[in-house]
């Protein structure tokens, strides 16, 4: 029995590792991923049940509950109950009896208890402590269920103790694995964000700007490039100091982000120069967007570190065309930006020599 239980735990360990990789896979469709994770966890539970150990033709011993340790670690509530439902349906397919009811109730008690643990602030950011308590809770519920389904006999006590002795270290290993996978993925995400983000403004940096242009070419047929440059920014730095200059850049980026859509790409190209990629808008529409940004910036009172408020302005160059010509459009927008500056600043200029001034 011990060897069979150990094999069952190894199967669960392997399956949980692969599910944890899916959990940590970055995607924009989190809800869909949660459904997939819940279904896969449920099927892993079914697989573990089918490879469980039958004790005296009454109690089926397996490690189906270990999938809840994985899902509980990542605080995935909906996948947890999806998995619990799938496992319960499968368990009842063997017959509706007291043992089946007890086994399914135990699964939902484990899941519910783990969800309740989320409310204990002591466990926030204490992954190992949280994992150990989850394991202890799950092992205890399973052991009590085995003892009850075994008829409160001494052999049932022995099996319950054996299961706990195996499941606790296996559960601890799964927790350590989850912590390791989580920390690795967390660091990778941090490095990626750091490599692609301008640390002062929080916008995309030039490297990310180049990468996003490639994606724009694949996703959209047409695109617009806006190049923005804060007027007389050197004078702002000279008069108020570089710390205040940085503060202006931060507020400028916030305002620019507020005046554009979430999926528009905003980047700090360098110094006081910014760029925006805006897909699928006509020339008339993009000019309205640019003018709205310019007007909003010119009317906004920028707050300095000493609470003094000042006004600034921005010049904007616009290029409108097919996404396949994006790199060429960047140069065109740059030329339009310089034309806007040479024409008096605080204005927009588009790539057909049409000037838009308030």
Nearest to 277 by CA among 219, 233, 342, 198: 219
Query: What would the mean pLDDT of 230-255 be, rounded to a whole number?
Result: 94
**Which residues constitute the domain of residue 343?**
206-356
Dihedral, CA atoms, 22, 28, 29, 34, nearest 10 degrees? 40
Please give the DSSP secondary-structure letter assigned to residue 96.
Answer: -
172 and 223 inside one domain: no
pTM above 0.95, yes or no: no
The pLDDT of residue 211 is above 80: yes
- Contact call for residues 312 and 236 (beta carbons, < 8 A): yes
- Which residue shows structure tokens 């006509």? 282
Using pLDDT thresholds of 50, 70 and 90, give the confidence band for residue 165: confident
The pLDDT of residue 231 is above 90: yes
Using pLDDT thresholds of 50, 70 and 90, give the confidence band for residue 171: confident
Query: What would the mean pLDDT of 172-194 be, rounded to a whole number?
Result: 80
Strand duo 348-350 + 314-322: pairing: parallel
What CATH number corresponds to the domain at position 170? Answer: 1.10.1760
Query: What would the mean pLDDT of 95-106 be, rounded to a whole number?
Result: 87
* More confident position, 171 or 92: 92
Find how far residue 18's CA is from the centre of its chain: 18
326 and 283 inside one domain: yes
Q: Which of 196, 217, 233 is the last residue of a domain?
A: 196
Rounded to whole angstroms, the Cα distance separating 135 from 178 reads: 13
Mean per-residue pLDDT over the chain, rounded: 86
158 and 33 inside one domain: yes
- Contact call for residues 228 and 273 (beta carbons, < 8 A): yes
Query: What would the mean pLDDT of 156-179 be, rounded to a whole number?
Result: 79
What is the arrangement of strands in the sheet containing 314-322, beginning at the earlier edge strand?
A: 265-270, 273-279, 222-230, 314-322, 348-350, 355-356
201 part of a folded domain: no
* Count of domains for the chain: 2
* More confident position, 65 or 226: 226
SS3 category, 317: strand
Kindly state the tokens that stand for 337: 């930006």
75 and 18 inside one domain: yes
* More confident position, 341 or 179: 341
Give pLDDT, residue 358.
40
The pLDDT of residue 357 is above 80: no
Give pLDDT, residue 59.
58
Which of 44-53, 114-123, 200-209, 280-289 has the least mean pLDDT? 44-53
The pLDDT of residue 43 is above 80: yes
Nearest to 325 by CA among 204, 222, 206, 207: 222
Query: What would the mean pLDDT of 60-73 be, rounded to a whole number?
Result: 81
- Contact call for residues 174 and 16 (beta carbons, < 8 A): yes
10 and 63 inside one domain: yes
33 and 15 inside one domain: yes
155 and 285 inside one domain: no
Using pLDDT thresholds of 50, 70 and 90, give the confidence band for residue 5: low
Which of 16-30, 83-97, 110-124, 244-258 has the least mean pLDDT? 16-30
Give pLDDT, residue 215.
87
Dihedral, CA atoms, 346, 210, 321, 284, nearest 10 degrees? -40
Q: How does DSSP assign 159-190, residue by residue?
A: HHHHHHHHHHHHHHHHHHHHHHHHHHHHHHHH
pLDDT tens per residue across span 118-133: 888 888 778 888 888 9
pLDDT tens per residue across span 304-348: 999 999 999 999 999 988 888 888 899 999 999 999 999 999 999
The pLDDT of residue 100 is above 50: yes
229 part of a folded domain: yes
* More confident position, 230 or 321: 230
């Amino acid at each position: 029995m011990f060897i069979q239980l150990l094999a069952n735990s190894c199967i669960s360990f392997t399956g949980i590792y692969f599910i944890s990789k899916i959990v940590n896979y970055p995607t924009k469709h989190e809800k869909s991923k949660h459904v997939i994770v819940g279904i896969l966890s449920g099927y892993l539970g079914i697989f573990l049940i089918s490879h469980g150990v039958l004790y005296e033709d009454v109690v089926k011993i397996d490690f189906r509950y270990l999938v809840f340790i994985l899902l509980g670690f990542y605080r995935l509530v909906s996948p947890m109950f999806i998995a619990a439902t799938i496992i319960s349906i499968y368990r009842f397919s063997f017959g509706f009896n007291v043992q089946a009811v007890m086994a399914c109730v135990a699964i939902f008690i484990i899941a519910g208890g783990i969800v309740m643990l989320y409310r204990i602030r002591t466990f926030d950011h204490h992954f190992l402590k949280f994992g150990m308590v989850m394991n202890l809770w799950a092992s205890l519920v399973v052991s009590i269920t085995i003892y009850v389904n075994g008829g409160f006999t001494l052999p049932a006590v022995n099996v319950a103790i054996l299961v706990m002795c195996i499941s606790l270290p296996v559960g601890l290993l799964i927790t350590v694995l989850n912590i390791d996978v989580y920390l690795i993925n967390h660091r990778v995400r941090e490095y990626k964000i750091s490599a692609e983000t301008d640390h002062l403004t929080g916008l995309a940096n030039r490297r990310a700007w180049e990468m996003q242009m490639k994606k724009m070419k694949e996703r959209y047929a047409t695109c617009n490039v806006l190049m923005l440059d804060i007027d007389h920014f050197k004078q702002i730095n000279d008069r108020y100091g570089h710390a205040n200059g940085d503060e202006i850049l931060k507020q400028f980026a916030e305002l620019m982000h507020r005046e554009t859509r979430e999926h528009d790409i905003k980047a700090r190209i360098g110094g006081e120069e910014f760029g925006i990629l805006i897909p699928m808008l006509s020339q008339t529409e993009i000019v309205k967007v640019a003018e709205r940004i310019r007007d909003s910036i010119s009317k906004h009172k920028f707050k300095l570190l000493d609470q003094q408020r000042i006004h600034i302005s921005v010049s904007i160059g616009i290029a409108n065309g097919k996404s396949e010509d994006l790199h060429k459009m960047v140069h065109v927008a740059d030329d339009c930006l310089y034309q806007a500056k040479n024409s008096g600043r605080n204005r927009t200029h588009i790539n057909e020599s049409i000037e838009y001034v308030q």
